[in-house]
Amino acid sequence: MNWLDTENRYGLVSRVLHWAMALLVLLMLGSELWMEALEDLGKANLMGLHKSIGVLLLALLAFRLAWRWHNRGRLASPSHWRLAARLGHLALYGLLLAIPLSGLLAAWGSGHGVAFFGLPLISTGPEIEWLEEAFEETHEVLANLMWLLIGGHVIAAFAHQWWLGERSLKRMA
């Protein structure tokens, strides 16, 4: 089993990071929908988990970007799709950074702390209403944009696999 990417296939580390982050992002996006339907107690418990997974995604993103830099340029891709792929991935990485950061700022503005699976990262403090409102709205808009980018990413993966015959799904599976 190859840890590093090759010209024909993503390495084990790249694949595990991709699929782990994809599952966590979908869990996070889904948890937003669940929290809207829950009562206060269940919502508070789920919010703590939501924040912890958001912090975990930030850490995984940092590792993934470092790993990608280490593996840069190994996979071959057709030149006519390279710019679109780079822009799409740049947008995904940007949202993977901006969504958790906006959530952390909203939590800070709310006066509630942020813990990483019980380990305090941001302590509780006074409510800063304008900060909370601005970044809650930003967080929600960015999450909705993430749904659109995920849809585009999935469509592009299937198009590369079956329409263009590039076997991109096999490289990532």
Asked, for residue 2, whether it belongs to a domain, the answer is no
Confidence class of residue 71 from pLDDT cuts 50, 70 and 90? Answer: confident
Asked, for residue 94, whether it belongs to a domain, the answer is yes
- Residue, of 74 and 132, whose pLDDT is higher: 132
Amino acid letter, 108: W
Confidence class of residue 74 from pLDDT cuts 50, 70 and 90? Answer: low
Asked, for residue 4, whether it belongs to a domain, the answer is no
User: Domain residues for 167?
Assistant: 12-172
Instruction: Find the mean pLDDT for residues 72-77.
Output: 61
Residue 34 sits in a domain of what CATH number? 1.20.950
Question: What pTM value is reported for the model?
Answer: 0.86
Q: What is the pLDDT of residue 40?
A: 64
Asked, for residue 3, whether it belongs to a domain, the answer is no
Asked, for residue 1, whether it belongs to a domain, the answer is no
> Does the pLDDT value for residue 77 go beyond 90?
no
Confidence class of residue 131 from pLDDT cuts 50, 70 and 90? Answer: very high
Asked, for residue 110, whether it belongs to a domain, the answer is yes
Asked, for residue 113, whether it belongs to a domain, the answer is yes
Q: Check: CB of residue 21 under 8 Å from CB of residue 9.
A: no
Express each pLDDT in 139-170 by its tens digit.
999 999 999 999 999 988 888 777 766 666 76
* 102: nearest Cα among 133, 60, 62: 133
Provide the number of structural domains found in the chain. 1
Confidence class of residue 76 from pLDDT cuts 50, 70 and 90? Answer: low
> Does the pLDDT value for residue 49 go beyond 80?
yes
E strand or H helix at 107, and its extent? helix 79-110
> Does the pLDDT value for residue 102 go beyond 90?
yes
Question: Which runs of E-coded beta strand occur in the chain?
Answer: 114-116, 119-122
Asked, for residue 55, whether it belongs to a domain, the answer is yes
